[in-house]
């Protein structure tokens, strides 16, 4: 049985990380290296994790605690660099897997060479009901990024050698980390297959403290990431696509936060954030872009449909 390295990163969410570890222990596949990276938590996570892993027998566990807060990309890179597994996968502290997640991936991945990586379908809890989002594709990551597919990290499964080949993540990226990995993997011609099984429940323990919920920090982070990505995206896809990607990423953020504010009846924030989130997008520009939605979907039907 090939060893599978599983990376859990956490920061100041000790209750979440406890359940994430429990989730890994329930996996039917047992040849696992569990790598837990605590990004300098201050809420007692270190003590809880240390106590928990002392109670676990017959599992290869590596616990790494950063002495300073380094961010998600750096923490995941630590796990990649310390991996002993043939395969590698990520489970954030707010993600849940089906018990056969690893077993199903290994069964399929063992039939392919290092030119392939794998994703699964995702399930979402909507008003108490489980909704499966099914995606089937078999394509190069380059084409998938071009079409707008970016699966949640909790649904991804790799050969460790592929991640090490690109030196993992760009540690300058603080927002859009999952996009960064696929952009970098597209540069080496990696292909991806969706195995068609709903095995992942991403962000099931979503909380208000998530960075993706913080409008100003999220927008500032994405603005910096877009500048950092300019060279690599332009080299792979061309400058025209980079400009399209940049405009639509900003528009996607505005639309997401606007829907969030309207849902929470924060009407003042909804209006103010149209102005504050990005100086490029004033109210009239947003209205124009809404009118162009149908046209954009015809060109890129799946753009920013996160599967």
Judgement on whether residues 139 and 158 belong to the same structural domain of the protein: yes
pLDDT in tens, the chain (307 residues): 899 999 999 999 988 998 899 999 999 999 999 999 999 999 999 999 999 999 888 789 999 999 999 999 999 999 999 999 999 999 998 888 999 999 999 999 999 999 999 999 876 655 545 566 667 889 999 999 988 888 889 999 999 999 999 999 999 999 999 999 999 999 999 999 999 998 998 877 655 444 445 777 888 899 999 999 999 999 999 999 999 999 888 877 877 777 777 777 777 776 665 665 544 444 445 555 555 555 455 555 554 443 3
Q: Output the pLDDT for position 282.
A: 47
For residues 62 and 28, state if they share a domain. yes
Collapse the DSSP code of 112 into the 3-class scheme (helix H, G, I; strand E, B; otherwise coil) and give the result: coil
Q: How many domains does the chain have?
A: 2
pLDDT of 77 reads 98
**pLDDT given for residue 11 in this prediction:** 95
Domain boundary among 201, 221, 247: 201
pLDDT of residue 291: 52
Q: Is residue 305 part of a domain?
A: no
The burial of 259, by beta-carbon neighbours within 10 Å (0-12 exposed, 13-18 middle, 19 or more buried), is given as exposed
Do 33 and 155 sit in the same domain of this protein?
A: yes
Q: What is the pLDDT of residue 205?
A: 62
Q: Residue 298 has what pLDDT?
A: 54
Confidence at residue 201, expressed as pLDDT on a 0 to 100 scale:
86
Any domain includes 307: no
Instruction: Report in angstroms the alpha-carbon separations of 286 from 43, 248, 258, 278, 293.
Output: 40, 11, 11, 11, 11
Q: Do 158 and 130 share a domain, yes or no?
A: yes
> Is residue 273 assigned to a domain?
yes
- The reply to whether the predicted model has a pTM over 0.85 is no
CA distances (Å), origin 120, targets 101, 138, 187, 206: 9, 12, 22, 20
pLDDT at position 304 is 44
The answer as to whether 259 is a domain residue is yes
Domain range for residue 143? 4-201
Residue that is last in its domain, among 201, 220, 242: 201
Q: Are 134 and 191 in a shared domain?
A: yes
CA 158 to CA 156: how far, in whole Å?
7
Give the per-residue pLDDT at 301.
52
- Report DSSP state, residue 69: -
Q: What is the model's pLDDT at position 249? A: 86
In whole angstroms, how far apart are CA 259 and each of 5, 131, 212, 265?
37, 20, 14, 10
Domain of 144, CATH number, reads 3.90.550.10
Does 65 fall in a domain?
Answer: yes
Rounded to whole angstroms, how far apart are CA atoms 36 and 49?
A: 9
Residue 57 resides in a domain: yes
The secondary structure of 253-277 as a DSSP string is HHHHHHHHHHHTT-HHHHHHHHHHS
Which of 166, 201, 236 lies at the terminal end of a domain, its last residue?
A: 201
């Amino acid at each position: 049985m090939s060893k599978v390295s599983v990376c859990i990163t956490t920061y100041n969410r000790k209750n979440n990380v406890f359940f994430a570890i429990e989730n890994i222990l329930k996996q039917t596949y047992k040849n696992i290296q569990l790598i837990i990276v605590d990004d300098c938590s201050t809420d007692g996570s270190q003590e809880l994790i240390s106590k928990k892993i002392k109670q676990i027998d017959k599992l290869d566990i590596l616990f790494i605690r950063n002495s300073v807060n380094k961010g998600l990309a750096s923490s995941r890179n630590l796990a990649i660099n310390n991996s002993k597994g043939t395969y590698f996968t990520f489970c954030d502290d707010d993600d849940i897997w089906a018990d056969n997640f690893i077993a199903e991936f290994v069964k399929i991945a063992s039939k392919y060479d290092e030119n392939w990586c794998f994703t699964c379908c995702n399930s979402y809890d909507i008003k108490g009901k489980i909704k499966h989002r099914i995606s089937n594709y078999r394509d190069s990551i380059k084409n998938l990024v071009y079409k707008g597919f970016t699966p949640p990290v909790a649904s991804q499964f790799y050969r460790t050698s592929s991640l090490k080949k690109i030196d993992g993540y760009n540690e300058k990226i603080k927002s859009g980390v999952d996009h960064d990995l696929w952009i970098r993997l597209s540069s080496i011609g990696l292909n991806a297959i969706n195995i068609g099984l709903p095995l992942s429940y991403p962000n099931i323990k979503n909380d208000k403290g998530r960075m993706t919920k913080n409008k100003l920090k999220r927008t500032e982070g994405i603005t910096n990431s877009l500048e950092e990505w300019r060279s690599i995206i332009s080299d792979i896809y061309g400058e025209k696509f980079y400009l399209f990607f940049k405009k639509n990423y900003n528009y996607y953020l505005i639309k997401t936060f606007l829907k969030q504010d309207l849902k929470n009846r924060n009407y003042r924030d909804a209006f103010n954030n149209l102005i504050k989130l990005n100086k490029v997008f004033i109210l009239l520009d947003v209205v124009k872009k809404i009118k162009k939605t149908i046209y954009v979907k015809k060109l890129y039907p799946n753009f920013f449909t996160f599967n």
